Structure 1
Amino acid sequence: MPSSHLRSLVLLLLALVASLVLGLLAYLSYEPPALTGPLSLAVTGAAVLVACVAVAVTRR
């Protein structure tokens, strides 16, 4: 698999994750459920995971 193809797939994945996170934040700001604390922790963990993957991909 060429590097440019892999980079495109990673960018697509990051765009999908970002849209999910933005949708979740919009939902939480509109109608906050009782799980706001755990969901915030999960979003923070996902953001850290995406950042680690981005660093790992760009170092190659």
Structure 2
Amino acid sequence: MSSLALLVILLLVLVAVLVVGGLAYVAHRHPAAATPMVVALAGAAVLAACVIPIAVR
């Protein structure tokens, strides 16, 4: 794997962590909407479903 591909994967992981953290924060601030862990895990699953096919190629 080239260093460019590894860098792109690293950046995708960092963005995923930021998005999941943001979802957990928003769900924590508004607990009536959903439990924070469920929202964060759902966001992580959606991001993984989008990123893994790209990373595998």
Same fold (TM over 0.5): yes
Structure-1-length-normalised TM-score: 0.58
- Distance in 2 (CA, whole Å) between partners of 1:42 and 1:20 is 11
> Percent of aligned pairs with the same residue?
30
Question: How many matched pairs?
Answer: 46
Deviations 1:2-60 (A, max 9, x none): 61000000000001111000000111111121xx26x81514x62xx48xx5xx87xxx
RMSD value, Cα: 2.9
The match for 1:14 is 13
Structure-2-length-normalised TM-score: 0.60
* Greater relative contact order structure (CA < 8 Å, 6+ sep): 1
Q: Which has the larger radius of gyration?
A: 1
